[in-house]
Every structure is written in structure tokens, then in C-alpha cells.
Amino acid sequence: MSSPYGTGAYVHIPFCERRCDYCDFATWTDRSHLMAAYVDACVSHAQALRREHPGAIDHVFFGGGTPSLLPPDDLGRIVDALQPTPDAEITVEVNPDSFSDRHARVYAASGVNRISMGVQSMDDEVLVALGRTHNRDNVAQAVRAARGAGIEHVNVDLIYGSPVESFRSWIASVSAALSDDIDHLSCYALTVEPGTPLGASVAAGTARAPDDDDQAAKYEAIDELCESAGLSWYEISNWARPGGECRHNQNTWAGGNYLAVGAAAHGFMDGARFWNVRTPERYIEAVSTTGDPVAVRVPQSLQDRYVETLMLGLRTRTGVDLAGWPDAVIQTAADLVDIGLLVAGGRSAPPNFDQSGRPSQTRDADSCHGADGQRFSLTRRGRLLASHVMSELASHLPDGR
């Protein structure tokens, strides 16, 4: 499906120095000996994909894992293989621990113009409780390194709601992050996933689960602090200065195409979701033998498309356009407007080209500008209850395909 954000490529780097207690991503801490072969596989897979899809690549996202663990030149080889357009957004997720001035310089030279830093908290005690290795000072240093090398966009990822984190500590974390020279902030509610050390501790009763009310209060605090620092929310867990939004992710939420490079990477092309084999060994092997590392490919049904449009679109400030949807869904949306969870209207896509350049004065009223007839987006209270809103709307979709 085409989106206003073009076509992207996601590259997965499944290596970490150690695993964080809450993490359920595909990543390994004992396979650094595979890195060289892995990069070669990514390069040759990327080249093959480009032969198959010769159109423009408008954004590339290196996620992980910890992409900054790769030798920086190797990362550049993968960028080259993907041949993105000259003004493409190229993001690399980095760990403040493994991000040096040298990384920053080589990245910038490779065309990387956006750094996303997994910081999680600025409170050293909370960092220990989350199983993280860096500290507050690393972060400021890493931000300075990126800026110094001329990298235009810097994001910081925070996680909130650990039971050892006080409300005050959280406010301090957000404020500290905002005081660094960044143009984007992602804040994620700590989620207990089964199969993680945290999940096991909660199940065993040795760790407390995060508290919903605490997380709700912290979310409201983020929104206040970001807005007053000039970063507006544009997706449930993301705030940015105007022009600082991540186009790669906006493309995902808009249902746009993106290629998938690397083990366990997911992609979406022309109405089908697919993902590559999970382990780096199998990925390397598949690329070198059959040349096709895709493990599963699922064509999107009409029903899937409706549900995904709701689920992804409603996360964004753009909202969803329900024109042409079943009357029951539109009626339900109107009911949700009445109870203050949805607002009619939404910021017209694509928001990147917003001309005002100024943060809004009022949050929800702002969503209404550029309203078109059947567009709905979440209010702040609605954002906190997004799953409820989505399932209410989805429950009025006709069953079947």
C-alpha cells in the first residue's frame, strides 16, 4: 500500500552486550563471533532486495538488538547496499554505552541523520532495577557526540512505571532528557512480557507488576512536560519537535511499504506482512543458499486491513478516516466522542509538512485543525484507553473476510 511517507527498509541487528530484564526482542548476547558473516549476509540480501524493488527507499531504520555494537563501517556497508535517496531519513538505535565520537563521525559520513538512544531512565537506581548498564552521564555525552558529528535528529527512549520508580524520579528523568539537545522523545510504559526475566519475577511474586494508575499519572506528566518543552505528541508513545517526527515509523502506522533485512526483521510489501527467519545463523545460511530468508508471508485480508488501519491509525495524531466504514463503527466512534475518548477530526497527513512550526496551545482542540468529515483521533484520556477504544470500534466490524 502506498503511504505519504514513501517506502522504507528495516534492518535488524540481533546482538547485545547483555539482555535487559524486560526485553522480549530477538537478540543474543553470545554471538558476536557471527557479526562479520551477518553483515555480509545483510549486504547481499539488501542488494538482492534492491534488484527486486528498484524504487526509491525514503527511510532506513537500524533496530535491535544494539546496532551500535557493529563496527560503524559495517553499518555503512549495509546503508550503501540499500541505496536510499539522498534525503532519506536514516536512523540507528544506539546504546549510550557503545556509542563513541568515532561512531558518530562514521555514521554521519555514511548518511545516518537520526540517532535513537535507548536510555530508559535517568535515575541510576531505576536503571539498575531495569537491568541496564549505562548511567546518566553517558547519555549527555552520547547526545553531544551525535550533535558534534552533525547528526540532525536525536531521540531518547525512556521507560516508565517500574515499581521502584517514584513519580518524582520520573519527572526528573523526563526533565533531564528534555534538557539534552534532542528533538524527539519516546516514552514507553514498562510492560511485563511473558518469557522475560521480569515476567518470571512477577509471576513468582518476587517483583511487583507496574501499576496502571501510576503509569497513567506518569503518562499525563510526560505529555505536559513535552508540550511545554515544544515537543508535541504525534503517536501514543512519541513526542517530537515539528519536523523531528520519525518518518520510518510514521510510514508503518500509515500502512506503508517497508523491506526487511536481517534475522527476525518484519516487513510489509504490497498487501503482505512477512518476517525473516529468527536466528542470525539461519539468516546467514538462508541468504547464502536460497537467497530468500523470509520465514512466513501472510497476505493481509480485507478484515485484517480494517483492523490494522484502526489499530495503527488511532495511535497517531492523524487518527483514522472512517469515511465509507460500516455505520455501526461510525456511530460507535460518535459515542466515544460523547464520553471524551475520541475527538472528531485529526491532523491531516502528512504532519511533517506542518507550516506553523509552533507547538500547540491546547492539546485536544489542536487535533481538530484540518478536520475532515469522518476523521477521528484520540483525546489524551482516549490515548490512555486506546485498546478499549480500538476494540469497541473493531467489535462493530463485520466478521469474516
Least gap, CB of 253 to other proteins (angstroms): 8
Using DSSP's 3-state secondary structure scheme, residue 274 falls into strand
364 forms part of the interface with other proteins (CB under 8 A) = no
Q: Provide φ and ψ at 177, rounded to 5°.
A: -60, -45
**Piece of the chain touching other proteins by CB under 8 A; list 104-112, 130-138, 140-148, 183-191:** 183-191
| CA 271 from centroid of its chain's CA atoms | 21
Report the alpha-carbon angle 329-3-255, nearest 5.
Answer: 50
Query: With respect to other proteins, which residue has the nearer C-beta, 146 or 389?
Result: 389
**Residue 342: which residues within 8 A CB-CB, separation 6 or more?**
333, 336, 376, 377, 378, 379, 382, 389
Number of residues that bind other proteins (CB under 8 A): 44
**Piece of the chain touching other proteins by CB under 8 A; list 34-42, 69-77, 145-153, 215-223:** 215-223
Least gap, CB of 11 to other proteins (angstroms): 11
Query: With respect to other proteins, which residue has the nearer C-beta, 297 or 369?
Result: 297
Binding mask 25-64 for other proteins (x = CB under 8 A): --------------------------------------x-
**Residue 361: which residues within 8 A CB-CB, separation 6 or more?**
none
Query: With respect to other proteins, which residue has the nearer C-beta, 234 or 275?
Result: 275
Query: With respect to other proteins, which residue has the nearer C-beta, 25 or 37?
Result: 25
d(CA 335, CA 342): 9
Positions in 139-178 near other proteins (CB under 8 A) = none
312 forms part of the interface with other proteins (CB under 8 A) = yes
250 forms part of the interface with other proteins (CB under 8 A) = no
d(CA 367, CA 85): 32
368 forms part of the interface with other proteins (CB under 8 A) = no
**Piece of the chain touching other proteins by CB under 8 A; list 49-57, 114-122, 138-146, 305-313:** 305-313
Helices (H) and strands (E) in the chain, counts: 15, 15
CB 114 within 8 A of CB 92: yes
Query: With respect to other proteins, which residue has the nearer C-beta, 140 or 189?
Result: 189
**Piece of the chain touching other proteins by CB under 8 A; list 95-103, 182-190, 201-209, 282-290:** 182-190
Query: With respect to other proteins, which residue has the nearer C-beta, 267 or 346?
Result: 267
Name the amino acid, one letter, at 388: H
User: Considering only residues 99, 258, 325, 376, which one is a binding residue for other proteins as defined by CB under 8 A?
Assistant: 258
User: Considering only residues 78, 311, 322, 329, which one is a binding residue for other proteins as defined by CB under 8 A?
Assistant: 311
- Nearest Cα to 378, choosing from 392, 367, 394? 367
391 forms part of the interface with other proteins (CB under 8 A) = yes
**Residue 128: which residues within 8 A CB-CB, separation 6 or more?**
none
CB 223 within 8 A of CB 363: yes
Q: Where are the alpha helices (DSSP H) in 27-71?
A: 35-52
d(CA 263, CA 293): 8
Helix (H) or strand (E) holding 342: strand 342-344
298 forms part of the interface with other proteins (CB under 8 A) = yes
**Residue 328: which residues within 8 A CB-CB, separation 6 or more?**
396
User: Considering only residues 42, 190, 226, 329, which one is a binding residue for other proteins as defined by CB under 8 A?
Assistant: 190
Extract the C-alpha cell encoding 365: 482542540
266 forms part of the interface with other proteins (CB under 8 A) = yes
Extract the C-alpha cell encoding 294: 523470509
387 forms part of the interface with other proteins (CB under 8 A) = yes
| CA 299 from centroid of its chain's CA atoms | 23
- What is the DSSP code string of 219-263? HHHHHHHHHHHT-EEEETTEEE-TT-S-HHHHHHHTT-EEEEEST
**Piece of the chain touching other proteins by CB under 8 A; list 66-74, 101-109, 308-316, 327-335:** 308-316
Query: With respect to other proteins, which residue has the nearer C-beta, 107 or 275?
Result: 275
390 forms part of the interface with other proteins (CB under 8 A) = yes
- Nearest Cα to 394, choosing from 336, 317, 316? 336
Least gap, CB of 373 to other proteins (angstroms): 25
Residues that bind other proteins (CB under 8 A): 10, 63, 188-191, 212-213, 215-216, 219, 236-237, 249, 252-253, 258, 260, 264-268, 273, 275, 298, 304, 307-308, 311-312, 315, 339, 341, 383-388, 390-391, 394-395
